[in-house]
Amino acid sequence: MAHKARKRFGQNFLVDQQVINQIVSTIAPKRMDSIIEIGPGKGALTFPLIDHLDHIHVIEIDRDLISLLQKKSNKKITIHESDALVFNFDQFTKNIRIVGNLPYNISSPLLFHLLNHRNNIIDMTFMLQKEVVDRIVAAPGSKVYGRTSVIMQAFFDTELMFVVPKESFDPQPKIESAILYLKTKSEPLVQNLRPLEEIVKIAFSQRRKTLKNCLKSVLNQSQTDIDLSHRAEMLSVENFVTLMNDYEKQN
């Protein structure tokens, strides 16, 4: 029986062969790569990828899709029936590469879950809502530069690779998508996520106000060299790291 797309699992299947080829070229898989695909669905990316690989691991939550995949599968594909949000990516050896046309409804929590496993990850290539990708790659001064941009850019080099039109999917999503490439920095700008998250959250709590205003209960101008008369959106990721260090000294 044909599979009916489930909205709750964010199922928009890729049907455009040209886009699929473009994604595979972006990933540029090499035989021995340890690739893990999140949400293989019916295998639109899995099968083209496996042509270039010795093996692939896939993580899928929908049992019906898993049965479909198992029928088409071969021993080069290991299927993990699991929720990617709680999946332990540390079970793999180091140097994994993660890919996927992600279920949009869980993209933010999933990115944060993966952030906690970053030490094992070389890079990630994901299809996401374009507006989410725009936020992740945004530069200071941009309207969409915010918490996600600072946190992701502290740990990854980020790049929007290309935009994917709605027509490339079945069913078609309401919004535009884009391919995001994240390469884990060999020297992350910070070691710990928590204090950076804290300061960034406070700094962006009221975007229209100055940092002096937002941070008044945790840090004042005499405690940092960062000019607090600016708004948070004007600070570079490096500035935020300085701010975080000064904040940590006080708290």
Residue number, 48 or 188, with CB nearest to ligand SAM? 48
Minimum distance of ligand SAM from residue 83's CB (angstroms): 4
Pair of tokens at residue 204: 């962006």
Which is nearer to ligand SAM, 29 or 39 (by Cβ)? 39
Check binding of 58 to ligand SAM (CB under 6 A). Answer: no
Token reading at 131:
């507006």
Helix (H) or strand (E) holding 241: helix 237-250
CA nearest 158: which of 128, 179, 140, 136? 136
CB of 46 to ligand SAM, least distance (A): 7
If one counts every other C-beta atom within 10 angstroms of the C-beta of residue 225, the result is 9
| 3-state helix vs strand vs coil in the chain, percent to 5 | 40, 20, 40
Interaction pattern, residues 1-40, with ligand SAM; x per rule: CB under 6 A: --------xxxxxx-----------------------xxx
The CA distance from 58 to 63, in Å, is 13
Binding residue (CB under 6 A) for ligand SAM from 35, 36, 50, 59: 59
Stretch that binds ligand SAM, among 53-61, 135-143, 160-168, 194-202 (CB under 6 A): 53-61
Stretch 183-222: interaction string toward ligand SAM, x if CB under 6 A: ----------------------------------------
CB 96 within 8 A of CB 89: yes
Where in 114-133 is the site for ligand SAM (CB under 6 A)? none
> CB of 151: closest distance to ligand SAM in angstroms?
21
Q: Which chain residues interact with ligand SAM by CB under 6 A?
A: 9-14, 38-41, 44-45, 59-62, 65, 83-85, 101, 103, 106
